[in-house]
Amino acid sequence: MDTVLASAAIMPLMGDATADETLMQRYARGDAFAFDELYRRHELKVWRFIQRSVANRASADELMQEVWFSVARQAPRYVPTAKFTTWLFTLARHRVIDAHRMQRPHDSIDESRQQTAQLVEQLSTAPSENPASQVQARQEREALISAVQRLPAEQREAFLLQAEAELSIADIAKATGVNFETAKSRLRYARAALKTMLQELA
């Protein structure tokens, strides 16, 4: 039984024509459509990870380009020793860290607030059962998004890597270069902090 499970776990990395890792290798061999498919699959996850991390539309666009440029650039040397998403979000994380280090002058708190407001506005237009629940849902989303953005950077990235990238704790540890327990602790602290912030706002 264990053998079967192990084989099944390896399959996506080795033979599945639609696996991310296979698509990456196909792109490296000259299949542009493979890249398109990869991008389609992961565009929003990467985008949201970046946008929540930098809270600035212009910076997010820029970082988004840099991440995917890197994917294209490094395709020939990509070795599927890990999940593609782990590798992809490692790239994204590095770009976010670079951006914070550079303290880009056009990152502004006002813009961040404005964009949060825009997000809330967008969310508020989603269909809802009735106006009251719509308002309540909008307020909850606003609070949650805002709370995520206010998390300490390490906690935020751990939370986003799980919530957006759907990485396991082991993969979060790998992507962030820490051990399993540290990654787990960061997640725990992130969730605790989010709950606290949301309770305070309630």
Site for another protein in 160-189 (CB under 8 A): 162-164, 168-169, 174-175, 184, 187-188
Q: Which residues contact 37 (CB under 8 A, 6 or more apart)?
A: 18, 23
**C-alpha neighbours within 13 Å on the C-beta side of residue 132:** 0
CA distance 170 to 42: 20
Contact range with another protein by CB under 8 A, out of 1-9, 10-18, 156-164: 156-164
Position 87, amino acid: W
Q: Does 105 bind another protein (CB under 8 A)?
A: yes
State the minimum distance, in angstroms, from the CB of residue 120 to another protein: 10
The single residue among 6, 14, 195, 201 that binds another protein, judged by CB under 8 A, is 195
- Please give the structure tokens belonging to residue 172: 């979060």
Contact 159, 191 (CB under 8 A): yes
Q: Which is nearer to another protein, 62 or 154 (CB)?
A: 62
**C-alpha neighbours within 13 Å on the C-beta side of residue 8:** 5
CA distance 194 to 45: 20
Among 144, 49, 58, 168, residue whose Cα is nearest residue 97: 49
Q: What is the DSSP letter of 75?
A: G
Site track for another protein across 13-52, x = CB under 8 A: --------------x--x-x--xx--x---xx--xx--x-
Contact range with another protein by CB under 8 A, out of 3-11, 12-20, 121-129, 149-157: 121-129
Site for another protein in 43-102 (CB under 8 A): 43-44, 47-48, 51, 58, 60-66, 68-82, 86-87, 90-91, 94-95, 97-99, 102
Q: How far is CA 104 from the centre of its chain?
A: 21
State the minimum distance, in angstroms, from the CB of residue 153 to another protein: 15
Q: Does 126 bind another protein (CB under 8 A)?
A: yes
Q: Does 117 bind another protein (CB under 8 A)?
A: no
Q: Which is nearer to another protein, 16 or 36 (CB)?
A: 36
State the minimum distance, in angstroms, from the CB of residue 150 to another protein: 14
